[in-house]
Structure 1
Amino acid sequence: MVSRTRFDDDACPVARSVDAIGDWWSLLIVRDAFDGSRRFGEFQRSLGVAKNILTARLRTLVAGGVLESVPASDGSAYREYALTPKGRSLFPVIVALRQWGEQNCFSPGESHSQLLDVRQGRPLRPLEVLSADGRPLTPDDTAVHKVSAD
């Protein structure tokens, strides 16, 4: 088996983020958690993933502080998975991937899911990257700056 390259010591935040949650199963588990899935069986039914793969990804997400294992909400002996604050902070990432997919991965008129604002029942406004003063930014308006350790 080929060993996976690790980026947990990389100076780039994107590389470390990919190392933490960049596997497609992990992102889909997080997506399903935002959609209300909490139990192993719910994740497995939604994703159609093998039990051993799902078990490994859930363990990694728990170890990384993205999910936590909690007592079942119905009081049974089962355990459930809940997003931690760290996991909930992935919401803009999931929304950005969803919006990118809606725009770039479907033919006109092709069926797909859509994220709605529950209060208004309408689709979300497209995410934008904004400057500190509120200006919309493009890649040409940004530069990577290395931050030194103190």
Structure 2
Amino acid sequence: MSDDNGMSVLADLPPAPRPCPIAAALGVIGERWSLLAIRELGYGVHTFDRIARFTGASRDILTDRLRKLEAAGVVERRRYNEHPPRFEYHLTEAGRDLFPVLLSLREWGERWALDEPSASFGHDCGHPLAVDVVCRHCAAPVTPESLRVSVGRDR
């Protein structure tokens, strides 16, 4: 049931819906305008009007997405003006943890989905930004071939 790297364990299971952290994450952030709102918050844009302008989302849709993200604990709303009441949006710890995901999506989009680069990003070391997923323990690159899978409670 398993080859050398354990990945076929998942492929060999009977086909049926299975619990999946990717599906769970998409349930929270998978709607189109949600990730774009999170992108803007990560760029330091905090007011509703500016988020709407930079994403192109309609006010109704953006309101819905920000409320859902707030309910999920990804975004928090902070009052910055009493009269009239005005709010800013900020990423929570859960929202900030999405930063590497957004960087990876951005890099993938630059390579595979855009004809022309949109903007270039660099690191404060002076080099162009290149996102790599590495094991925190050994610092080796994480690839589909390097994954080991355990299914069930005996992990």
Query: What interval of TM-score do these two structures reach, taking the shorter chain for normalisation?
Result: 0.7 to 0.9
Of the three residues 114, 126, 142, the one matched with 1:137 is 142
- What amino acid is the match of 2:146? D
Counterpart Cα distance in 2 of 1:47 and 1:12: 29
Q: Does 1:14 align with 2:22?
A: yes
Map of 1:114 onto structure 2: 120
TM-score (norm 1): 0.80
Q: Which runs of structure 2 are paired with 1:1-150 in the superposition (5 Å)?
A: 11-72=19-80, 77-107=85-115, 110-117=116-123, 119-130=124-135, 132-148=137-153
Structure 1 letter corresponding to 2:22: V
TM-fit CA distance, 1:85: 0.7
Distance 2:78 2:43 in 1: 17
**C-alpha distance in structure 2 between counterparts of 1:131 and 1:40, whole Å:** 36
Aligned to 1:5: none
Coordinate RMSD, CA, aligned: 2.2
Q: Report the counterpart of residue 10 of structure 2 in structure 1.
A: none
Deviation at 1:50, TM superposition (A): 1.3
Q: Secondary structure at the match of 1:68?
A: strand
Distance 2:152 2:78 in 1: 37
The residue type paired with residue 24 of structure 1 is R
Q: Percent identity?
A: 36
Q: Distance in 2 between matches of 1:133 and 1:120?
A: 22
Higher relative contact order, chain-length normalized (CA < 8 Å, sep 6+)? 2
Structure 1 gap ranges (5+):
1-9
Secondary structure at the aligned position of 2:151 is classed as coil
